[in-house]
Structure 1
Amino acid sequence: MIALDSSVLLDILIGDPMYGEVSEICIGDALARDEVVVCDAVVAEVLAMLDTQVDLMETLASIGVRYEATQEAAAARAGHMNKRFRARGGKRERVVADFLIGAHAMLQCDGLITRDEGFFRDYFKGLKIVVPTPAP
């Protein structure tokens, strides 16, 4: 099972001109091999960013992505990682949702599809990261 970050999901939902197509291909490739899931933090972030009243769960189901709630252990890990981030002088632009997404992917999935590679590699060592990359 592979987790999907909100940035990649938004790429396809809003039709991002640079990343929309490569994100869609990346998700399709992942679906051909395994289940692709989003956690509650992704659902919340995406709904907050969309201008429409889209039924996100219906849209996710139509592309083969399903919702999986964050388990208690992942939520606790996210809190600890966020606390560590702040102790290291981390800026407020990093929100708890980013840590929830990373902890969910680390503890409940086999990897994460994201464009925020640096952050997740830094804070979730060992997490398999898949980055949709446009052709040069």
Structure 2
Amino acid sequence: MTLVDSNVLLDLVAADPQWADWSIASLEAARLRGPLFITDVVYAELGVRNQRIELLDEFVAKAGLELVGLPRPALFLAGKAFAEYRMKGGTRTGVLPDFLIGAHAAMTKLPLLTRNERRYRTYFPTIELILPVSAGPG
């Protein structure tokens, strides 16, 4: 089982010239190991790129993704990790989704397929990250 981050799926939606091939290959490899999950937060982030819910649901189904809700302990952990980020001087305010996704992976002990290494490694060091070799700072 693998949890999939928004950036990997957005690579497919946007046909990103740098990352789409890696994201497709990584999704296929993860699918061979078991089901692919997205959190409701990832679903919401994908919704930004879709005009209708039916189109988003079609994409999710074609990609073979299962939608799972965030467990309450993960919500709490995300809030604590975000508070720590802010106390350490983090100024970006639009990063809470990353903390929710990271906390979900940490609480469920699912590996996370992502290109965003830095924040996940810093605030959720126990999660297994599936990353490209040159993921960059995230």
TM-score when normalising by structure 1: 0.90
Distance 2:35 2:109 in 1: 9
Change (3 A) 1:94 1:123: farther
The match for 1:91 is: 91
Q: Which runs of 5+ in 2 are unaligned?
A: none
Deviations 1:53-103 (A, max 9, x none): 362222111121111110101011001110111111112255211100101
Size of the aligned set, in residue pairs, is: 133
Query: Once superposed, which parts of structure 1, at least 4 consecutive aligned residues long, lie more than 3 Å away?
Result: 51-54
Whether the aligned pair in 1 keeps the contact of 2:3 and 2:112 (CA below 8 Å) is yes
Is 1:72 equivalent to 2:48 in the alignment? no
Alignment of 1:44-123 (within 5 A): 44-48=44-48, 50=49, 52-53=51-52, 55-123=55-123
- 1:133, distance to aligned residue in structure 2 (A): 4.7
Q: Which moved more, 1:97-106 or 1:107-116?
A: 107-116
Amino acid at match of 2:126: G
- 1:109, distance to aligned residue in structure 2 (A): 4.1
Identity %: 33
Whether the aligned pair in 1 keeps the contact of 2:40 and 2:70 (CA below 8 Å) is yes
- 1:14, distance to aligned residue in structure 2 (A): 1.4
Q: Which moved more, 1:100-109 or 1:28-37?
A: 100-109
Amino acid at match of 2:16: D
> What's the C-alpha RMSD, in Å, of the aligned pairs?
1.6
Deviations 1:99-120 (A, max 9, x none): 0010111112421011011111
Distance 2:15 2:133 in 1: 15
Deviations 1:17-38 (A, max 9, x none): 1101110110110000111111
Q: Which structure exhibits the higher relative contact order, with contacts defined as CA atoms closer than 8 Å and separated by 6 or more residues?
A: 1
> What SS does the aligned partner of 1:37 have?
strand
The match for 1:25 is: 25
> What SS does the aligned partner of 2:69 have?
coil
Distance 1:133 1:5 in 2: 17
Distance 1:94 1:130 in 2: 23
Q: Which runs of 5+ in 1 are unaligned?
A: none
